[in-house]
Amino acid sequence: MSRKAILVTGGAGYIGSHVVRQLGEAGERLVVLDNLSTGFAEAVLYGELVVGDSGDRELVSRLLSEHDIDTVMHFAAHLVVPESVEKPLKYYGNNTCNTRNLLECCAEAGVKHFIFSSTAATYGIPEGGIATEETPTAPINPYGTSKLMSEWMLRDLSAVTDLKHVILRYFNVAGSDPEGRTGQRTPNATLLIKVACETAVGKRDSISIFGTDYPTKDGTGVRDYIHVEDLARAHLDALTYLRQGGESTLVNCGYGHGYSVREVLDAVQRVNGKALNIVEQPRRAGDPPQLIAGAEKIRKLFGWKPQYDDLEFIVKTSLDWERQQLSDTT
Ligand code: UD1
């Protein structure tokens, strides 16, 4: 009997496209739904790409039944924190309302498994800078709240249906496929490693450090950077867990240790072999001093084994990708 298909929303985006590639390599049957507002058709290397919204009930219901789908992986979302503060309803509309519609279609179609991209932003500013899955959620921006509301809908729906879910709370995702097939294409990106690598290859003049007076090891912000390939693997592990009858659950996705902004920039300079033009700036609004994952649960429950827990390797794959992008456009 042929295996049922997986619907991947947002599969043309940064993280989604890496997961689609790994699922495709594993022989899964895939339908990718993406409105291409921030994704790229050429990033989808496996499956059928359908251009549309994950909140379009008619379209989603048709896809679920026509393709015999029993699993949904939901990546489609807006994710820029400062923008979510400026335009909260855009975030509640796309992230929360569309997820509600998607879940309604899943319930009607009897979808069995749902894997949801959530975020460490649901924790806000955790005490001590480390968040385990038991840490109370207290988002400090509409982005985090929009994702937390989706988590709650999913939890409440699973409680009264046969749907089983895994919520993955991502920490700071970085890096690219080491073989250069997928990477982070986002224009005007704000993420530290992306911006630093764009600076290293000459796409930007300088890189700013936002805040040098934090109560951290060197005064700059500390984050738990996870390689996108390891994060993608966590989705396949979550799928195996659900297929083996695992109960609905929630796990952090991080390595369990952090690097400061200065440590990241030092790594970029070492890997690139050249100094960066670094400008020290005041703190950026809404940034917690430190955010590190309590990351035991994912290893224990899924047997997840990260392969790329190495800052220089993360930076190297990001730099390689930027160089490749540059040579593609020149
Ligand atoms: C990222 C994610 C957010 C997630 C969070 C989890 C995106 C757009 N953001 O946010 O969704 O909830 O991880 O931890 O996906 N920095 C600089 N200079 C720069 C850019 C950043 O100094 O040019 C500093 C920031 O102040 C911060 C650190 O680098 O201390 C990381 O920032 P960034 O890469 O933007 O990620 P987060 O804001 O942590």
**Which ligand 1 atom is the nearest neighbour of the CA of 289?**
30
Q: How far is the CA of 42 from the centre of ligand 1 (A)?
A: 26
Is the Cα dihedral 41, 42, 43, 44 positive or negative? Answer: positive
110-141 pLDDT, tens digit per residue, is 999 999 999 999 999 999 999 999 999 999 99
Average pLDDT, whole number, for the chain? 96
Give the total residue count for the chain. 330
- pTM strictly above 0.95: yes
143 is catalytic: yes
Give the domain ranges of the chain.
Answer: 5-174+225-253, 192-224+257-328
Ligand 1 pocket, Cβ-based, cut-off 6 angstroms: 79-81, 119-121, 171-172, 190-192, 195, 207-211, 221, 223, 261, 284, 287, 291
Question: How much is the pLDDT for 1?
Answer: 44
d(CA 58, CA 31): 16
pLDDT in tens, 10-34: 999 999 999 999 999 999 999 999 9
Tell me how crowded residue 240 is: count the other CB atoms within 10 A of its CB: 13
Q: Whose CA is nearest to atom 6 of ligand 1?
A: 171
* Partner residues linked to 181 by β-bridges: none
Set 143, 170, 241, 259: catalytic member: 143
Residues 255-282, mean pLDDT to the nearest whole number: 98
Label residue 97 exposed, middle or buried (CB < 10 Å: 0-12, 13-18, 19+).
Answer: middle
- Percent of all residues in the chain with a pLDDT value above 70, rounded to a whole number: 99
pLDDT in tens, 143-192: 999 999 999 999 999 999 999 999 999 999 999 999 999 999 988 889 99
What is the Cα–Cα distance from 77 to 95, expressed in whole angstroms? 5
- The enclosing H or E element of 230 equals helix 228-243
Give the per-residue pLDDT at 86: 92
* Site to substitute for ligand 1 among 192, 205, 207, 278, most atoms within 8 A of C-beta: 192
The confidence score (pLDDT) of residue 120 equals 97
Ligand 1: distance of its center to the CA of 132 in Å? 19
CA separation for the pair 121, 277 (Å, rounded): 29
Q: What is the DSSP string of 122-169?
A: GG-S-GGGEE-TTSPP--SSHHHHHHHHHHHHHHHHHHHSS-EEEEEE
Element (H, E) at 83: helix 81-86
What CATH number matches the domain at 5-174+225-253, 3.30.70.330, 3.40.50.720, 1.10.1740.10, 1.20.120.1200? 3.40.50.720
pLDDT score at 187? 83
Q: Whose CA is nearest to atom 30 of ligand 1?
A: 221
For the cut 60, the answer to whether the pLDDT of residue 228 exceeds it is yes
Reply yes or no on whether the pLDDT at 206 is more than 50. Answer: yes
Cα dihedral 53, 253, 309, 200 sign: positive
Minimum CA distance residue for ligand 1 atom 27:
221
| Residue 41, CA atoms < 13 Å, CB-side half-sphere | 5
Say whether pLDDT at 98 is over 50: yes
Mean pLDDT to the nearest integer, 84-105: 96
Q: Quote the tokens at residue 55.
A: 């909140």
**CATH fold for domain 192-224+257-328:** UDP-galactose 4-epimerase; domain 1 (3.90.25)
Query: What is the structure's pLDDT at 287?
Result: 84
Question: What does the pLDDT average to over 52-79?
Answer: 97
pLDDT at 82: 83
Select, from the ranges 67-76, 281-290, 318-327, the one with the highest average predicted confidence (pLDDT): 67-76
Whose alpha carbon is nearest atom 15 of ligand 1? 79
Distances (CA, A) of 288 to 119, 122, 294: 14, 12, 16
